[in-house]
């Protein structure tokens, strides 16, 4: 009975460490997203001078306005948001598809089914 309790404690400790590592990775992944969103709502002067993680002192959407409608006076910069979407959406879809294929390969290899590994890459 004592050995089973020890194994249970070890499993709980391993699970707690895993949860802590996952939480750290989530924070590291979300920090740039937070900085991007907060930086987009800052006026241009504040975005250039204030620390990036501080929330804006004055809410402004001028960065999003200029990004969506463009600057208008410069040739080639009329509609930058549309060009960004044309590039970003296919790249994001490709990375999700290839990442899913790799994950499927690892899961199938871990479970010991080589047929599914080959199916994932066809």
Torsional class of 56: left (φ above 0), alpha (ψ -120 to 50), beta (otherwise) = beta
What is d(CA 62, CA 77) in angstroms, rounded to the nearest whole number?
A: 16
Supply the mean pLDDT for the chain: 79
pLDDT at 85 over 60: yes
Query: Which pLDDT tens digit goes with each residue over 26-65?
Result: 999 899 989 988 888 888 788 888 888 888 888 888 877 7
As a whole number of angstroms, the distance between CA 42 and CA 70 comes to 18
CA angle 30, 34, 40 (to 5 degrees): 150
pTM of the model: 0.52
Residue in this structure with the two tokens 């066809």, named with its chain if needed? 122
Taking the CA atoms of the chain, what radius of gyration do you get in angstroms? 23
């Amino acid at each position: 009975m004592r050995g089973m309790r020890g194994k249970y404690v070890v499993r709980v400790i391993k699970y707690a460490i895993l949860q802590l590592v996952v939480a750290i990775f989530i924070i590291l992944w979300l920090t740039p997203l937070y900085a991007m969103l907060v930086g987009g709502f800052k006026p241009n002067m504040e975005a250039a001078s204030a620390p990036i993680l501080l929330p804006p002192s004055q809410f402004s959407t001028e960065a999003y306005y200029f990004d969506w409608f463009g600057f208008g006076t410069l040739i080639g910069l009329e509609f930058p948001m549309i060009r960004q979407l044309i590039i970003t959406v296919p790249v994001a879809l490709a990375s999700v598809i290839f990442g899913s294929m790799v994950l499927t390969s690892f899961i199938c290899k871990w479970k010991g089914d080589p047929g599914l590994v080959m199916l994932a890459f066809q």
